[in-house]
Amino acid sequence: MADVERNWFRTVLGGEEMPTIFGPGMNWEAAFRDVAAASVPEAFTAWRAECERASALVAAAATLDFTRTRGSGGRRFSLRWVLTHMIEEYARHNGHADFLRERIDGATGT
């Protein structure tokens, strides 16, 4: 989610050109190949830093209708759209984590 935060807030809305954190060259599958060497504290530190930067960009926007054009196709994204999209992203990824946890401990929500 650190890379997702970075992409939508810093790259799309902030207009900053920068590499991804964990998926080199936008190769998201590469980020999952060497998980044995991954550092949980490092991952949380990166995520928190990107969330702080995203919060600063949101706070600096005059309105939810602030837009930025991104990509060769010139698609415009509003802050409102990005925030809604991020809710979807977090819901999806939290759902994935819940499935994994359920497979580990067998507990289900009631």
Model pLDDT, residue 54:
97
Residue 86 counted as domain residue: yes
Residue 74 counted as domain residue: yes
Model pLDDT, residue 86:
96
Q: What is the pTM of this model?
A: 0.80
| Domains held by the chain: number | 1
Buried b / exposed e across 46-65, counting CB within 10 Å, b at 16+?
Answer: bbeebeebbeebeeeeeeee
Model pLDDT, residue 67:
93
Residue 110 counted as domain residue: no
Per residue in 79-96, pLDDT (tens digit) is 999 999 999 999 998 887
Per residue in 27-63, pLDDT (tens digit) is 667 777 777 788 889 999 999 999 999 999 999 999 9
